[in-house]
Chains A and B, each alone.
Chain A
Amino acid sequence: MPFPLPKIIEILDCLPSAQGLMEQLIAARLAHTKRDLIAALATLPAADVDQFQKTYDSLDVEHQARVLFSTELGETLVAIEGHGRQHADEKLLKRIIDISAREHAIYEFQNGRISTYLRTTDAKEVYSPLGDRVLSRESKVWKMRPQYLIDDTIAVDFDSPIASRYEPDSGTLSAHQLEHTEYEKQLVLEKLTTTLTNIDKASPILGLLMRNFVRRIIVRKSIDSSQIFKNLDRAPLGSEHRPHQPSSFRALNIHHPQKTIVSCMESAFHESVHNVLAYWETVNGYFAPADREVRPVSPWTGNTIPNHSLAHAVFVWYALHRLFERCVLKEAELEECDVGEIRRRLATFASGFLIQRPLTQCFTHSGEVNGELQHAILSMQESIRSFYGKALKVA
């Protein structure tokens, strides 16, 4: 079923259609992932396919969905697609088998059985591809290690192999990794729980958005709490989403005292919206080219970002404005929120929409911006400009 781009705006505007639209988008993504998986498996030898099916077919529907929605499967399929399926690295293809085997191993363990995988692996830890469950082996005995979860739904990932990677062009995973203390882990968990609770209070639909589209938050510590910054712009407190890792985002230094709850709400929702857009793009194709040689300047941050990122940015800043408008209405109920900070951030969210020109003129690629995208961008800009109508006229 087609999912026109303006429907994303309906979700962000929390219209009555929002929940149904989210379900529709998730179903479309699920179907797309299944097709990609089948296509990738088709390039494997029959024996390998059998090995995959043995574990995958043993899972119930819920656990098969866990595999399909997982960050690990998503990034593996993206990598295979990037190589071209016929030329994909054998390691990537084998990884699909391993992903299913690990989910199966944990599923069996929870049902009181030790799978062949657990009996034969040399690994000391076995992670679910969703990141929310992990088995660890102590003295040859496997145990389910408690994982950090928000609302029993979203995994907070401090130190899995994925969370511990070094990525030189990542704003978060290029930072040197320090170990969280247990106290800091609990603090991070509390802050993110309060974050989701506040988003729920401001808008249950937008809280549902975060739960539906984010299943793993990778948290990296790169500075100690004692390191205080006079200029917050220089503090490493950012977050990022990477399209090759669906259903997740990364965040820096949530434990730090200068990472406020309002900032956590902004980061978490910002990246959740990126995940929604990535879901849409997986099914419908990219909004705009991701060329990096000539990058427009974001009217919000002044940073140079690819055209594709600018397209995302318009939706994200719009979504944040919509969320924080609702936060103002419910500010008496929000926990640990500085209402002044909420209003100052609204000024920032609005600022990019209030430039002299249509935002479509900020893009730097040959040819016209895709018609549907253009219409969506202009409608969001008009919506915010109308909201601030008084500010744009003489008092």
Chain B
Amino acid sequence: MRSPIPILLLTLSLPMQANAQGTTVVEADRLVLAPGTVLEGNAARLAYRQGKVTAVGNEIPAAVLESAIRVKYSGTLVPGFVNPHSQLGLSADLGERIDAFTPSLQAVDAFDPFSETLEQQVRGGVAGIGLAPTSGNTFGGLAAVVTWDGEEGQVLAEVSYLKLAIVAESLDQSRFPTSRMGAADLIRSNLLMANHPLAGADPDHQVLKDVLAGSRKMAIHADSHAEISVALDLCAEFSIAPILIGCKELHDSIQRLAGSEVSVILSALSMESKQSQLNLPAELAEAGVAFSFMAEDAESLRLSAALAVHAGLSRDQALAAITSTPASQCGVDDLLGSLRVGNSASFCVFSGDPLDLTSKLIAVHIDGKAIALRGAKDEAR
């Protein structure tokens, strides 16, 4: 044997190697690549290199299998969760209430990479968070998608969807609009102006132009039935397929959404939620409407999915609501939401099915790097 020093260096630098050069193959009892695509038994393995998934299942070359670092977990491996709408505890910094029309403001400018809420969410299994402006403005601004790599926060997408709000929170008596009527007028007039050929190329209307052209998504926060109706009417006027956020009283409008491209971000379900809210996910799934959950922490996200399953939603659709659907709503489905080749190697491992609350979170990997769980000491894998 040659001198042990290179091997010693090799072993000492293992944690960094996993990211830098070598491939890591992770195995589990069950591997869920995407809701509906499950690998089991010997095929339940995934290879990643430099934070990106290189091969899955039986397609992993034997050579790679031999030379790679093998990690084995006993449990179910699922893609990391995606929380499509959160303020990460920065509500004060993300709301510019003075002017209700600020679509060009970017939430990423208020991002705090050392935020404790961010750290806790990621430690709980959330791989990506849609950092959105608050609902204090009619036109809040552009959301961003962020994550945490174990040391500090990282931005995955600087601009994602345009956040609007028509809830009571967005109405302020000290400035226009002070009523829902005024809010609807504000939205309509600005969208009309954006279409106008003589409209200025100011950044605000540029954003609206993108929305109208279809290259940028628009998300509206509306809770009550009236607010949801107004939002849908406005979007129908301009042929926009919005993302609806909140939607506590959506059950009356579900038929209207069926067959359209509208998707929904539901507020987190809890054990205190009304039965009508608990039944919403199953009804939306039946109508073929895509939906996801938003929450302020990882456990609430999982609890929402579990409560939806308890109320009749299928397990696949519940998992989609916290992985693939929010990833596509935020526009980061090439990175998160599923473990296809080329996606980020961000996943979490549970002792059983993650939708059964009896399962425990065993491991979280963000971009291939292991993250210590909440309460556990930081250790280099």
A and B physically associate: no
Residues of chain B at the chain A interface (Cβ within 8 Å): none
Residues of chain A at the chain B interface (Cβ within 8 Å): none
